[in-house]
Amino acid sequence: MKHTRIRPFNTKVTYPEQKLDNDLCQAVVARGRTVFLRGQIGQNLETSESVCIGDVAGQAEQAMSNIAMLLEEAGGELQDICKVTIYIIDPRYREAVYLVVGRWLKGVFPVSTGIVVSALARPEWLVEIDATAVIPD
């Protein structure tokens, strides 16, 4: 395998009602330094349970907690993040989400892209955040 996979999973676990069977992972470490994180949502990674239903700030908090945990498992930390993409399903959620993300990334200064989408993969998910990090040598 060319890349290190962090927390492999199969889509049939996250989406049991669908006929999916894809081998994925929560993060990939490429070339030993660059970490690509799967979009994180309001989901407990230990149980795959959706959390903070109806609470966009709570879901953003869980997503950022997941990002911090995955980066640590990959050998990095939040300060290594260079790019985040934030997907929200309602533009009115922007302030609440960005307040949470800003608190987690205070002093990190990544580039950021915000996108309003019509829906995420599950109807209860209100925000999704992905990140790319480069771990220093």
Question: Would you state the pLDDT for residue 96?
Answer: 98
DSSP secondary structure of 84-135: EEEEESSGGGHHHHHHHHHHHTTTT--EEEEEE-S--SSTT--EEEEEEEE-
Decide which of 30 and 1 is more confident.
30
Angle between helices 56-73 and 94-104 (to 10 degrees): 30
pTM recorded for the entire structure: 0.87
* The predicted structure's pLDDT at residue 57: 98
List the CATH number of the domain containing 53.
3.30.1330.40
Residue pLDDT, tens place only, 75-128: 999 999 999 999 999 999 999 999 999 999 999 999 999 999 999 999 999 999
pLDDT of residue 27: 75
Task: Name the residue range of residue 27's domain.
Answer: 4-135
Confidence band of 1 (pLDDT split at 50, 70, 90): low
- The rounded distance, in Å, linking the Cα atoms of 19 and 82 is 35
User: Is the model more confident about 74 or about 26?
Assistant: 74
Cβ–Cβ < 8 Å for 84, 112: yes
What is the number of domains present in the chain?
A: 1
